[in-house]
Each structure stands twice: as structure tokens, then as C-alpha cells.
Chain A
Amino acid sequence: MLQISCPWCGPRDEIEYRCGGQSHIIRPGPPETVDDDTWGRYLSEKINPRGEHLERWLHAAGCRRWFNVARDTATHRIRAVYHMVEAAPAIGNDGVTL
């Protein structure tokens, strides 16, 4: 069972949350300039790393707000939780959030 710290509600069990997948996806545009290839990639392609993944989570059974999580997909260790508008926190030499 993961314990995830909602930025608003604090630490709660993973069953209260829903993972919304890869974060920081930027919609290409303006629409009239986007070709099919770019649009297809935008809709479907995933980084899907083995290692740190920056992803969106929803506190579905709590405050129902979205936030970002930096989580390792191999160990499930959560390095950082940050707001939707923030960039991913940098990683220090020791592997922890600066």
C-alpha cells in the first residue's frame, strides 16, 4: 500500500487516489498548424520509463484535486509531491529532492 501525501490533505492511503498518468504533456498548437503525426503522438505516445515517472494523481476520495507526483516505477518510491503548475523538483546528487 502506497502512502501518498496530498498537498492539501496530508498523507493518505493509495486507495483514496487515482493515477492520471504522465504529467507535463503539452498540447501542440495552434490547431491549424498541427499535422496528423504530431497530433497522434500527442494523444498516444508515452514516456513510460522504468525509473522516475512524473505523473498526475487525483485525490478522488478526498479533496478531489489534482497534483503531481515524482514516483519511481520500479521501486514505487515517491520522491516528491508538487502542484500542477510547478515544474518537477530537481534531483540532488544523493538522489533526494533539493
Chain B
Amino acid sequence: MRYSAWTVFKQGLTGQRGWTPAWRSPDPQSDYDVIIIGGGGHGLATAYYLAKTFGIRRVAVLEKGWIGGGNSGRNTTAIRSNYYYRASAKLYGHSLRLYEGLSRELNYNVMFSQRGMITLAHSPHDIELARRQIGAMRLNGVDTEFVSTAEIARRVPILDVSPEARFPVFGGFMQKRAGTARHDAVVWGYARAADALGVDIIQNCEVTAFRRGADGAVTGVETSRGPIASRRIGVAVAGHSSRLAEMAGFRLPITSYALQAFVSEPLKPVLDTVVLSPATGVYMSQSDKGGLVIGGGLDLYPSYAQRGNMPVIRNVLGAVAAQYPSLGRVRLLRQWAGIVDVVPDSSPIIGASPVPGLFLDCGWGTGGFKAIPVGGTVFAHQLATLTPHPLAAPFSLERFTTGALIDEAAGAGIAH
């Protein structure tokens, strides 16, 4: 069923009884050309591009819970490409371009809103770093510009920019094409589009072991819904990547941490952009429903518990109250945590694993949502052609042996 204004109008006239499920719930077949473990944004996007770009339609997406129930449903929906190194800028820049056409591509409104993102500078040193960042981004073809304190005050009137502020604002830089999208819609849009091309989305299907041939290559998976055979298996499970690697007998340079997010009660429109404060790690936007969506730093010890700890809650919300005094008495609606897969250089790992036939799309850490379209594109290329996509080639697992790290932890000042 094609979605359009006319469909909505027609269904409105006929009692909304003609809507059909957006995707099937098939039982798993005995074998597939490609199995993708993880029914989040990356896994579903990979399945979609496998079917669309490469015509590989005998694809299963195995999800242990429900699709989009992991980090895809736990992020803060910010989309940007303000990275430092060229490889990252190209990768995330491509993702941003795909997001710009995604609603039309998927025939599903992902509510991508390019409301821009401002990164604040709180000291003369921050200004120097911002200038350096702007220079690097422009050289890499990412549009960005310096914004003055006056301009920030005009654009974000709730931000305390006074000289007496606990975190004074000296200026900042802005990526105007950055923005937010509706996280569920991205997942559901890819699921629906992949399903329409023949991909089987199998929920409540947890992978419990890998089947291996005599040569060590994967031949399939054992799941909670029985064995499924495939000689090409992609793993896109974010914070749980180490567990899948352990099943396959190798280790990854990944540590899993809880990253918290918060959403407030709905407010009248007070913030029409995304604001990041590097000093406090807090970033905030306002959803279309009016809730302030707030993110901060990691809980700084390894965790698989999908809830946050109190000290970080206090730090994040204390920073919000200090920087946005008028929000001091706003109540929170929800607080949650997702388990993010943090790599020493804060860049993703895309490509072959040490096990033949098993491929990795992981290590996106705290920034996986913005990379869903490009993650799907490059991982589908890897699974279909068995060679890395040019955009993904620098992000192989081998870089931890060769030393060719892409250190965005230092470059773009990612705090984790």
C-alpha cells in the first residue's frame, strides 16, 4: 500500500478500515542468502539496500525483541556530520544526504527536520577549537559557519549567555543542515520498505550460537526459533556486539556503556534547533510534541543495564538548569539508557570479522542513529560484494593492528 495524502484522505472517509500491516511477520525459513542479526535501524537499512541495490531478497533480519526496541528507540534523534577527519566527514556526510531524501525514498515520513545544530564555545580556547573545527569541516565539504554570541542569543533565547553565566557563551559554530528525525519512523520506514522487497523480518528470535563449517566459516545460526542456515551473516547489534563476537570465538575493541537520555513534559515551542555544550556534554532539542529531548555524557563504567545511574542524571540536569535557567522547574516525563558500543578511537567498525562469512557493523558508539542510512548502504555493499564500500574501507577492524586509527575522540571532541 502506497502512503500519500490521498490515501490518508480516502481512509478518513472510509472509517480507517483499509489500512494493512506495514510488514509481515513470517516464520523463519530454513536458509537465506544473507542473515542480519539485529533489527534496529542499521540492520533493517542493510536489508533494504541489499534487496534494492543488489537484488538480494532472500534476506532475514533476526531481532531478539521487537524491531527498533534497542538503541534505535533509545537515542536522541540528532543527525549531523560535524566530524573532523575526512573519512568520517565523508561517511556521515553521505548519511546526512541520504536522510535528506529518505522520506521520499521509503515512502514513509521520517519527519527529518533540518533545524540546525549549534555547538557552543565557552571560553577563548573553545573559540580557537571551534575555528579549527570549522576549517576542517569546510575542507571536508561540510557546510558550517561561526555564530556569534548575539546570534546564538537570538536563535536560542532560553540559553543564558550573560557574562555572569556559569557557562558563558563566547560564540559557537553551526551546521545548518543538521537536525532531528523521528526515530521510530526511520526504523519502521526501512522495515516496511525492506519487507515490500521480500526481506523476512523475524522478531522475538534470539541468536544463541553460530554454526561453523569444517573450514571455520559460518554456515548458519542457532536461534530461539530453530536453526537457520546462511553463509553470509551480518552483525548489527550495537552494545551487544561483544556477546556475538564471544559466540563466534573472537574479541572486539569494544566496551559497552550505558548512555542516558531524558525527555521532559511537553512545552510550548522554546527551542527550534539542537544545542550542544561541549563543557557539560549536554545537548538538547525540542520534539514536535513539545518535549525537550536531552542527552549527556556516558555512565563511565561498563554496563549492560539499560538504565542510568543517578550521578550522571544529576550532572546532566544540573547543567540544563544552569544553562537554561527558565527550565529549572520543568518536569521530566521519561529517562532511559541505551547500551552503546564504544571503541578506543570513537569511530565505527565496518567490514570483515576474523571469522569467514561473518561481518561486522558496530562501534558506532553514541552516534549510530545519524548513520543509519550510510551504515545500511556500506554494510549491504560489504555483504553483497564481500569487499568494503569505498566509504567504509578506512573503518575496518584491521586498523587496530595497523594503527591507522580515525581518532574522532580527539578530532571532533567526542567526549566518549
The chain A residues found within 8 Å of chain B, CB to CB, are 1-2, 13-15, 18-19, 21, 36-37, 39-41, 43-50, 53, 55, 71, 73-76
Contact = CB atoms under 8 A, between A and B. Distances in A.
A41 B253 CA distance: 8
Interface in B301-332: 301-305, 309-311
Contact of B254 (A48, A71, A74): A48
Interface residues of B, number: 24
Contacts of A1: 309-311
Contact of A48 (B242, B309, B400, B401): B242
B255 interface: yes
B94 interface: no
27 contacts: A1-B309, A1-B311, A14-B311, A15-B311, A18-B300, A21-B255, A40-B400, A40-B401, A40-B403, A41-B400, A44-B253, A44-B344, A45-B251, A46-B252, A46-B254, A47-B242, A48-B251, A48-B256, A49-B242, A49-B246, A50-B240, A50-B242, A50-B304, A73-B303, A73-B304, A74-B305, A76-B303
Contacts of A2: 309
Contacts of B300: 18-19
B301 A55 contact: yes
B251 A21 contact: no
B305 A76 contact: yes
A1 B246 CA distance: 30
Contacts of B256: 48, 50, 73
A14 B242 CA distance: 26
Task: Pick the 8 closest A-B CB pairs, nearest first.
Answer: A44-B253, A40-B401, A19-B301, A48-B242, A44-B400, A45-B251, A50-B304, A74-B304
A46 B253 contact: yes
A40 B403 CA distance: 8
A51 to B, nearest CB: 8
Nearest to A45: B251
B255 A36 contact: no
A78 to B, nearest CB: 11
B243 interface: yes
Interface in B279-317: 300-305, 309-311
